[in-house]
Amino acid sequence: MSRRMSWFGGSLALLVVAALLSACGTQPTSTNGAASPQEVPKATAEQPATPTETPKTTPTQPTAPATGSTKPTEELPKAEAPKTVAAASNDAQLAAKGKLVFVQVGCKTCHMNPATGNMYPDLRGLYGSQRKLKDGSTVVADEEYLRESIVNPNAKLVAGYAPVMPPYNYLKEEQVQQLVAYIKSLKDEKPEYVKQ
């Protein structure tokens, strides 16, 4: 008797599973493989109904850009995108790589070493500051100034400093960008003198 119950229970479970699968299964198809009109599936919560044909419209006027302006898009001025978390993260990654380049090519030997005294400019807080040049003019230490000072350091000599920095024009552009990002990040960071 117990064998018969076991067989009956197994058969019943198999029948229930088959019924459930058939309710969720694929739709029957016609002989050519396409669903016939009577066999179109009904919309469910997981699969919303879709129209069979998307209506086509022909605009009578040019569509205005998303800005609401009627000017063509290519004539609109480019606005600066707000700094996002991703951009800040990218800046931090560039600065971290720039710190390695700073150490590897020897920048820290002169620029963040107390033994050099005032012979070389301290780069902490440099970015965004006004710099008085040897010729009497002033310049803002922005990204372009920093880049130029790395690859052609004698182009704009800071007043009070001798033209002793060698040009680092052999660096790849990516390395220069990393150095600029690192210099930008130097606010009140204390100099590090350990080899990394």
Distance CA(105)–CA(5), nearest Å, equals 82
Q: Which domain holds residue 135?
A: 85-185
Work out the burial of residue 121: count CB atoms within 10 Å of its CB; fewer than 13 is exposed, 13-18 middle, 19 or more buried: middle
Residue 192 resides in a domain: no
Residue 54 resides in a domain: no
Residue 52 resides in a domain: no
Residue 20 resides in a domain: no
Residue 111 resides in a domain: yes
Confidence category of residue 124, pLDDT binned at 50, 70, 90: confident
Q: Are 93 and 185 in contact (CB under 8 A)?
A: no
> CB neighbours of 148 closer than 8 A, spacing ≥ 6?
155, 156
Most confident of the following: 24-28, 59-63, 79-83, 137-141: 137-141
Residue 122 resides in a domain: yes
Q: Which residues pair with 131 in a beta bridge?
A: 139
Q: Is the pLDDT assigned to residue 9 strictly greater than 70?
A: no
- How many CB atoms are located within 10 Å of the residue 94 CB? 19
Residue 99 resides in a domain: yes
Q: For 134-174, what is each residue's pLDDT tens digit? A: 999 999 999 999 999 999 999 999 999 899 999 999 999 99
pLDDT of residue 154: 93
Helices (H) then strands (E): counts for the chain: 5, 2
Residue 120 resides in a domain: yes
**Which CATH number belongs to the domain containing residue 160 in this structure?**
1.10.760.10
Q: For 173-186, what is each residue's pLDDT tens digit? A: 999 999 999 999 98
Q: For 93-118, what is each residue's pLDDT tens digit? A: 999 999 999 999 998 888 876 666 66
pLDDT of residue 136: 95
- Name the domain count of the chain: 1
% residues pLDDT > 90 (the chain): 36
What's the predicted TM-score (pTM) here? 0.52
Average pLDDT over residues 28-50: 48
pLDDT of residue 30: 46
